[in-house]
């Protein structure tokens, strides 16, 4: 994947209590999921997703498809909130 074709998104998840590690392990099985963190607060998990732009489908649409078709269908996931990155810097 070239850096120019990747779209990074951060997906917050609410999970059935007691199933955080199960969901974490299931998410890590998805090719597009790069990182998964259990977090305190209103949301239980944050997942970092990278989607590649297709020939016909934009990378934003790919993120949408990944969340709807894969992440939201993961057992014990109750709700999601997706934030798409438009510009990033890292060290």
CATH number at residue 28: 3.30.70.920
55 or 86, which is more confident: 86
Residue 87 has pLDDT above 70, yes or no: yes
Residue 64, in any domain of the structure: yes
Whose tokens are 């607060």? That residue is: 41
Residue 10, in any domain of the structure: yes
Q: How far apart are CA 65 and CA 71, in angstroms?
A: 9
Residue 90, in any domain of the structure: no
Q: How far apart are CA 66 and CA 76, in angstroms?
A: 17
The total of structural domains in the chain comes to 1
Residue 1 has pLDDT above 80, yes or no: no
Domain containing residue 49: 3-84
Residue 43, in any domain of the structure: yes
């Amino acid at each position: 994947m070239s850096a120019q074709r990747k779209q990074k998104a951060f997906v917050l998840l609410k999970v059935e209590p007691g199933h955080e590690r199960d969901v974490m392990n299931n998410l890590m099985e998805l090719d597009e999921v790069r990182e998964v963190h259990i977090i305190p607060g209103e949301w239980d998990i944050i997942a970092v997703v990278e989607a590649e732009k297709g020939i016909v489908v934009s990378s934003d649409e790919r993120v949408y498809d990944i969340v709807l078709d894969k992440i939201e269908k993961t057992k014990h996931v109750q709700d999601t909130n997706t934030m798409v990155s438009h510009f990033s810097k890292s060290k």
